[in-house]
Amino acid sequence: MTESLLEQIKKLRAEIERHDLLYYQLANPSISDYEYDRLVKELQELEARLDEAQKQDSPSEKVGSDLRPGAQTIPHLERMYSLDNTYSAEELQSWCEKLAAELGAFPQLAVELKIDGFSINLYYEHGDLQYASTRGDGLQGEVVTPNIRALNLVPERISHLHPIEIRGEIYIPVQDFLTLNETRAANEEKNLRQSAQCRRRFHQAQRPSRGEKTPSESHFLCPGKGFKPSREPAIRTGEMAGKPGLPGFPIQRDLPVLRCSAKVL
C-alpha cells in the first residue's frame, strides 16, 4: 500500500465529512446529491484496497446524522435506514440480477416515488399521536412533536389503534420551492440550492417568523414497528397510507421493465 493511496483516502474522507456537516447539521449543502454520491463512490473504490479494520471510522461506513447537540432524543423502535441509489441502468440491472440470485427467482417489485424531504418518524398509540422524531442517526432521533403539530401536516388521530411507528417525508413541493427562491431573490437574499436547506426552518416551526416558508406537504408510506406482517409488505404499506388518514402516493405493483431477461430501462 502506497502512502499516496492513504493520503488520497484521508483527503477524501475529510471532504466528505465537511459535506456531511454542511448538509446534516448546518442545512447548507454546497454540492448536489449526485456530486456527493460520486465522492462516496470514489472513496469506496479506494478503500476496497484497505483492511476491514481500516474502514471502521470512515464516512463511507456511517449513516449521516441530523442530531443536534443537546437536543432531546428518543430511540426508534425499529432502525431507520438510508436508501441506496443508482445513476445508471447497468447498476440497476446488476441489482436485479443479484436479487434474483439470492431469492432463486425474480420477484414482483413495488415502486413508490422518492421524495427528497426531511425524514420523520411518527409514533401512535390507541390511534393518538404520541410523538414525532427525526431520523437522527438511524437508531435514535430528535423529538420534533411541537414542530409537526405547528405545521399541521399529519393527523393527531388515526384509525389504527395498536401501537405503530410510521415513517415518511416532510417536504416542499417543487413549485413552492421555486416561489420561495423568487421571494428570497426579491429580498436580495441568497437562493437555496436544495429544499434540504429548509431543515433549519422546520426546526424553528414552533415560532415561525412572518412570511417564513416551512415544508408544506407530507408523504407517509413506510411502517416501522407495529404493522401486521404481510406476504406483500410493500403493497400493504401503500394501502395502509390511505386507511389511517395519512397522505401517500399510489404504488405501482408490476414493473415489466425490471426483468433480468431484458435490458433495464
- Asked whether 133 and 121 are in contact (CB, 8 A), the reply is yes
Give the whole-angstrom CA distance, residue 206 versus residue 208.
Answer: 6
Closest CA to 169 of 150, 195, 193: 195
Closest CA to 132 of 152, 114, 115: 152
The conformational region for residue 108 under phi > 0 = left, psi -120 to 50 = alpha, else beta, is beta
Write down the H helix ranges in the chain.
3-20, 33-47, 89-103, 145-151, 174-186, 199-203, 233-242
Strand-pair partners of 3: none
The residue to which cell 403493497 is assigned: 235
SS3 133: strand
Closest CA to 148 of 174, 127, 168, 163: 168
- Catalytically active residues, by annotation: 114
Assigned C-alpha cell, 99: 436479487
Give the whole-angstrom CA distance, residue 111 versus residue 249.
Answer: 10
Closest CA to 233 of 246, 242, 224: 224
